[in-house]
């Protein structure tokens, strides 16, 4: 029924409670900035005075390796 509904407003989710609960579960922002701050701290640990000439590619690879463990 949801796929056949012609309305495209968010209010149409009130007619489909299961879809609405999934929408709220997967489309809600994380209220904390903690993940971003952890990423900045990890980047600061990689980018030091001795490593200031890293290329963007190497910096990104080192950061992803550190964050993803």
- Per domain, the residue ranges of the chain are 1-31, 34-68
Q: Which residues of 17-29 are buried (b: 16+ CB within 10 A; e: fewer)?
A: eeeeeeeeeeeee
The model carries a pTM of: 0.47
pLDDT above 70 coverage of the chain, percent = 97
22: enclosing H helix or E strand = helix 17-26
* CB 66, CB 42: distance < 8 Å: yes
* CB 54, CB 62: distance < 8 Å: yes
Angle, in degrees to the nearest 10, between helices 56-68 and 34-46: 120
Report the chain's mean pLDDT, rounded to a whole number: 87
């Amino acid at each position: 029924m949801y796929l056949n509904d012609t309305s495209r407003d968010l209010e149409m989710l009130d007619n489909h409670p299961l879809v609405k609960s999934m929408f709220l579960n997967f489309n809600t922002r994380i209220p904390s900035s903690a993940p971003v701050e952890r990423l900045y701290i990890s980047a600061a640990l990689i980018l030091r005075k001795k490593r200031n000439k890293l290329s963007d590619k190497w910096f990104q690879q080192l950061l992803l390796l550190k964050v993803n463990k």
